[in-house]
Chains A and B, each alone.
Chain A
Amino acid sequence: MQFKSDNPDLYPILDSLQVFNTYSSVWFSAIYLLLFISLIGCIIPRTRHHLAALRTRPPRTPARLERLTGFTSITATADAATALDTGAALLKRQGYRIERFDGSVSAERGYLRETGNLVFHTALVGVLVAVGFGGGFGFSGQRVVVEGQKFVNVLGDYDSFNPGRFFSTDALTPYRLELDSFDVTYETENKNAIGLPTYFSANVDTTDADGNTDTASIKVNSPLSIGNSEVYLLGNGYAPVLTVRDPEGKVVWTDEVPFLPQDAQLTSVGIIKVPDGLAEQVGMIGLFYPTVKTLESGALASTFPDLNDPMLTLRVYTGDLGLDAGIPRSVYALDPAGLGLTAIAGGDADVESLQLGIGDTVEIPGGLGTIEMSEVKRFASFDVHHDPSQLWVLGFAILILGGLLTGLFVPRRRVWIKVKQQDDGQVVLEYAGLARGEDPGLENAVTDIAAKHSQQLGLKLNS
């Protein structure tokens, strides 16, 4: 949307071309539907043709073999019938389908080439169908869980949820996850990568529909399979536990607020909204530094992502937070200017931003009350997926690869052996091949057959 304000003239043109949602646009759909139709239009007649070819015997031997690939002619003293028999047996052993004609053998092999080709193209269609099916009946949902919190797999317990077109709530199998602890290891020894996280693990207690409990670790590259869905670890961060009290010391608001990480050192931003209990509605924008350092400019920064010296700073605003107007508002956003809020600490206010370490309680300016940061927990954000066609996609993908290998590398060829009886009692043996499709090895194959055949005949004749 930044683009929209930067390019007010270009935006409507590009938008009408659906550039901003290409993968769901009309033209993109049209392209893949056309591809899909032409694929099917190609596969069906070819399959029919191939099925017929599979039942057809090898064709009649051409009258003249001389112009064909690998033509070899050998004159030898041999019995014509024996020569033909051994030739046929040799070809059969090499996987050829053979047909005897008068004075010749016609052979063909490599039907697997076309089979592989058809399997490849059919599997492509299979992948497209399975992907569409999975997208229609599956779902994905996201949920942020703070240490100690539970997540139940029902629609209302997700922070955001993207159902497929044909999704029904029956697809949600009941189970419960509780985030017991969240472990992170940061690199501390390699000077070039200090602070790089090398290990994350969300340790959860699970309870399934029958009440069976278990424990599991959800890691990157190692999702948890539970119910019919997979739970992925997407992200993590800090959730300071904050309590707001009124001037009398009565607790009016308390929460574990997930702060969203902004950089590699986990400088994080969080929003606090206290609509009730104080003299005015109070909104706060917090910056959390897990290991705080004051820069020369006086600004604060985090120097390490682990919780070594945490500091929370808060800008505080009063005014109508707009929560009662019935307009849905994100819990992760507060727009002081848009809502016309008044800054009472930080920003334009005369008072500096509030600063809290763990266990600190500070006054909210204007005698409104106090805020305390009692501890800092970690949170994990989970992505829950259900894709009923995933294994189908995998199966078709394997067929694609298998079909590709056979369709490209199995040679389809015809080979003929012709035996001509000469008047002087000798026979002329002729060999030749015909490539059907790419077949760079045909010539060698034919001369190899000729060599083997004459070797066999030689052995026979000597015995």
Chain B
Amino acid sequence: MTELFETYSVIAVYSALAVYTLAFIAFTLDLAQRSAPAGQITTRSGVVASASGGRATALLERLATDAPPTGYGSGKPSLPLRLAMGFTVVAWLLHVAAAVLRGLAAERVPWANMFEFSLTATAIVVGVFLASQFWQDLRFLGVYITGFVILLLGIASVNFYVPISPLPQSLQSAWLVIHVFVASLGTGFFAIGAGLSVAQLFQARRESTGAGPRFLATLPSAATLENLAYRVILVGFVFWTFTLIAGAIWAERAWGRYWGWDTKEVWTFIIWTIFAGYIHARATRGWRGSRSAWLAVVGFSAVMFNFTIVNLFFKGLHTYSGL
């Protein structure tokens, strides 16, 4: 049973990667289309093959020359965008199935080594991205999110894959479920926040100098992006605070001290400090806008550093990468 589930899990991971790639392409096409000047071709459904003879017809639509550029959340989304979201949902379902199968095969939560951390954390990132659509239209982050997930999940599947092995006793704790899950959830929110902040930086540059890709005109204003980023990062920050506290409680049970300046502990704290700085920057004159956006980007870079470099190359008590 274990081996069967493990095999299916791997198949699901690679299928998810393939569909994510389709989603990434479709998201990119959507952005490219937004870059087209108004009045030119704005919607182009891909090549539709007719069932009978394999004849291909391209459907072209023209908008009236005075039509405003299609914005997000207003009007009917373009075909590539609808396709992209569809692909993302399908890929995510496969992705979640992969994680669940892995968990069933291992008879524990699927996050106990580097491959499994990557598998589950990226699924949570995409889950947060999809869920956030019910709150705000953030589909313009699709290229960034799918690109990010393809990279991370791809590297994890190819380079970090390890067969299922039982949990060492130090990980046999309810805190493994809570601590790691909430950390991944926080990472998901920080990822979206960083994406919004990057968009904000581009948008701010366009608003002041007019430079930058044309699709930016279809995105919310820099001020709106900043507000969205702030709200997303606040949620991430609460989860991160909880992660630190839960980690300390667990460390007390497992290692006999709640804080020991372990490399992972230090980096998690540094990240907490950066985002605390970000939140304070918002309340400080002169630090709003692009400066605080940079802090959000630096903070998320530190999260990724903590997840990859610290896990793989730093010695410490959190050496559970299994590599």
B168 within 8 A of A: yes
* Cross-chain contact B230 with A198 (CB below 8 angstroms): no
* B231-260 CB contacts (< 8 Å) to partner A: 231, 234, 237-238, 241-242, 245, 248-249, 252-259
* Cross-chain contact A199 with B165 (CB below 8 angstroms): no
A440 within 8 A of B: yes
Q: Smallest CB-CB separation from A384: which chain B residue?
A: B256
* Cross-chain contact B163 with A192 (CB below 8 angstroms): yes
* Cross-chain contact A393 with B169 (CB below 8 angstroms): no
* Cross-chain contact A232 with B255 (CB below 8 angstroms): yes
* Cross-chain contact A400 with B241 (CB below 8 angstroms): yes
B170 within 8 A of A: yes
Contacts of B256 in A (CB 8 A): 140, 223, 230, 232, 234, 383, 385
B57 within 8 A of A: no
B7 within 8 A of A: no
Contact of A404 with B164 at beta-carbon distance under 8 Å, contacts A200-B169, A230-B256 already known = no
* Cross-chain contact B253 with A221 (CB below 8 angstroms): yes
Contacts of A223 in B (CB 8 A): 253, 256
B227 within 8 A of A: yes
A181 within 8 A of B: no
B75 within 8 A of A: no
* Cross-chain contact B253 with A390 (CB below 8 angstroms): no
Q: Tell which of A197, A405, A440 touches B168, judged by Cβ atoms closer than 8 Å.
A: A197
Complex: how many Å from CA A331 to CA B237? Answer: 48
* Cross-chain contact A220 with B254 (CB below 8 angstroms): yes
Please, what's the 1-or-0 string for A165-207, where 1 marks a CB less than 8 Å from any CB in chain B?
0000000000000000000000100101100111110000000
* Cross-chain contact A408 with B170 (CB below 8 angstroms): no
A221 to chain B, nearest CB (A): 5
Complex: how many Å from CA A221 to CA B169? Answer: 8
A397 within 8 A of B: yes
B138 to chain A, nearest CB (A): 15
B313 within 8 A of A: no
Contacts of A385 in B (CB 8 A): 256-257
Contact of A408 with B238 at beta-carbon distance under 8 Å, contacts A192-B163, A192-B164 already known = yes
* Cross-chain contact B231 with A222 (CB below 8 angstroms): no
A394 within 8 A of B: yes
Contacts of A301 in B (CB 8 A): none
* Cross-chain contact B253 with A440 (CB below 8 angstroms): no
* Cross-chain contact B230 with A438 (CB below 8 angstroms): yes
How many chain B residues touch A (CB < 8 A): the figure is 33
Q: Smallest CB-CB separation from B250: which chain A residue?
A: A221
Q: Smallest CB-CB separation from A134: which chain B residue?
A: B258
B54 within 8 A of A: no
* B276-298 CB contacts (< 8 Å) to partner A: 279, 282
* Cross-chain contact B170 with A221 (CB below 8 angstroms): yes
Number of A-B contacts (CB under 8 A): 77
Q: Smallest CB-CB separation from B253: which chain A residue?
A: A221
Contact of A196 with B230 at beta-carbon distance under 8 Å, contacts A221-B253, A234-B256, A400-B241 already known = no
Contacts of B168 in A (CB 8 A): 196-198
Contacts of B165 in A (CB 8 A): 187, 190, 192-193, 196
B173 within 8 A of A: yes
B166 within 8 A of A: yes
Contact of A440 with B241 at beta-carbon distance under 8 Å, contacts A190-B166, A221-B169 already known = no
B260 to chain A, nearest CB (A): 10
Complex: how many Å from CA A234 to CA B260? Answer: 15
Complex: how many Å from CA A77 to CA B19? Answer: 61
Contacts of B249 in A (CB 8 A): 394
B109 within 8 A of A: no
Q: Smallest CB-CB separation from B282: which chain A residue?
A: A438
Q: Tell which of A190, A197, A199, A390 touches B258, judged by Cβ atoms closer than 8 Å.
A: A390
Complex: how many Å from CA A30 to CA B203? Answer: 40
B7 to chain A, nearest CB (A): 14
Contacts of A390 in B (CB 8 A): 252, 258
B302 within 8 A of A: no
Contacts of A349 in B (CB 8 A): none
Please, what's the 1-or-0 string for A393-420, where 1 marks a CB less than 8 Å from any CB in chain B?
1100110110011001100000000000
A92 within 8 A of B: no
B172 within 8 A of A: yes
Complex: how many Å from CA A463 to CA B121? Answer: 58
Contacts of A377 in B (CB 8 A): none
A218 to chain B, nearest CB (A): 11
A131 within 8 A of B: yes
B261 within 8 A of A: yes
A222 to chain B, nearest CB (A): 7
B316 to chain A, nearest CB (A): 14
A391 to chain B, nearest CB (A): 11
Contacts of A199 in B (CB 8 A): 169
Contacts of A394 in B (CB 8 A): 249
Complex: how many Å from CA A408 to CA B282? Answer: 13
B167 within 8 A of A: yes
* Cross-chain contact A198 with B169 (CB below 8 angstroms): yes
* Sample (13) of A-B pairs whose CB atoms are under 8 Å apart: A196-B168, A198-B168, A199-B169, A221-B170, A385-B256, A390-B252, A390-B258, A393-B248, A400-B241, A401-B245, A404-B238, A438-B231, A440-B227
Please give the residue numbers on chain B whose beta carbons come within 8 Å of chain A beta carbons, in ascending order: 162-170, 172-173, 227, 230-231, 234, 237-238, 241-242, 245, 248-249, 252-259, 261, 279, 282
**16 more A-B residue pairs beyond the given contacts A140-B257, A401-B238, with a C-beta to C-beta distance below 8 A:** A190-B165, A192-B164, A196-B168, A198-B166, A198-B167, A198-B168, A198-B169, A220-B172, A221-B172, A234-B256, A390-B258, A393-B258, A400-B245, A404-B241, A408-B238, A438-B231
Q: 4 closest A-B pairs (Cβ-Cβ)?
A: A193-B165, A232-B256, A192-B163, A220-B169
